[in-house]
Amino acid sequence: MKLQINSPLDMHLHLRDNEMLDLVAPLSAKYFSWGLIMPNLIPPIKTKHDVISYKKRILKSIWNEEFTPYMTIFFHEDLNYELLKDLKGEILAIKMYPDWVTTNSDWWVKKIDLDKIWHIFLAMEDLEIPLCIHWETTDFVMDREKNFMPVYELIAKTYPKLKIIMEHITTKDAVNILNKYPNLYATITLHHLYITLDDIAWWMLQPHLFCKPIAKRPEDREALLEIALNGNEKVMFWSDSAPHPKNKKESQYCSAWVFTAPIALQCLAELFEKHWKIENLEKFVSLNAQKIYKIKPQTKIITLEKKDFTIPEIYGEVVPFMNGKNISWSIIN
């Protein structure tokens, strides 16, 4: 049995920089048509010069692979209409981070003050630049995403023409508000479709499954599976693949996030087949994102085969999701 996917897209990808960039960028470029590149470097990507320079480094790192990096910048209060108009040709979206909630996010937003940033949202509406938000409160870790939902709703109602992407949703509450507002969309990761908090900490701590937002309860995972597997057009795949060296994961202060880029499509094929929904896989990994972002990526056919594949124990210095496990699908081109 074989399966072809036309132009798989990774709508949220961390490529890091320097040596780590050279290691992981080719692994995404080999299997995806393009990726939406996150801006949380140190220092962050905040200017047109930053964007162009980083894109050049990415293209250099992937050699001759057919892969287009679509860029983002950090949301910051100095943005205005003229700056955004000048940036529009270089970026696909703007990324808003909370302060100190995820890797390298201690550079910006400490709270949403709509009185100070309303003009930026209005400019983004006019220029049709989507807003991607990774946001959680600083409450109890299992409630952070749920408690942020009223802010998503407030922004969605106040700026109805602003396209808002709720990034890497992990809860049933996020699923429930998704269809309440036509300008709300969401992304879902591979690992949040697979794991719950029990997988991370039930018996012995599994550092290579530790991610932010933290994996939640079984009922939350079931809600995510429901909308992903059934081809809901308001959700799309992103790997949120984020590499950290093994010694940073297996340490006293374990770095958050999961590395999935080179094995995401194989694992998704297995998951969708298991649930008898293989016909919806291309919607999730390509077609939905094309509609949401109004983009047309270059044609790139990835062929998967129903053939056993053992996930490598390590790529360079980075341990992948489900390392050493056998899965039932392989990529053959």
Instruction: Measure the CA–CA gap between 324 and 206, rounded to whole angstroms.
Output: 14
Short-list 317, 286, 321, 254, CA closest to 3: 286
C-alpha span between 223 and 300 (Å, rounded): 31
Report the C-alpha gap between 175 and 159 in whole angstroms: 20
**Angle at which helices 114-127 and 144-158 cross, to 10°:** 60
d(CA 149, CA 315): 37
Active site residue 17: no
What count of residues does the chain have? 333
Within 8 A by CB and 6+ apart from 223, the residues are 171, 172, 175, 176
Q: What's the CA gap between 185 and 166, in Å, rounded?
A: 6
Interatomic CA distance for residues 96 and 139, integer angstroms? 19
Catalytic residue among 50, 173, 220, 240: 240
Taken in order 58, 129, 173, 155, the sign of the CA dihedral is: positive
Residue type at 164? I
What amino acid positions are annotated as catalytic residues? 240
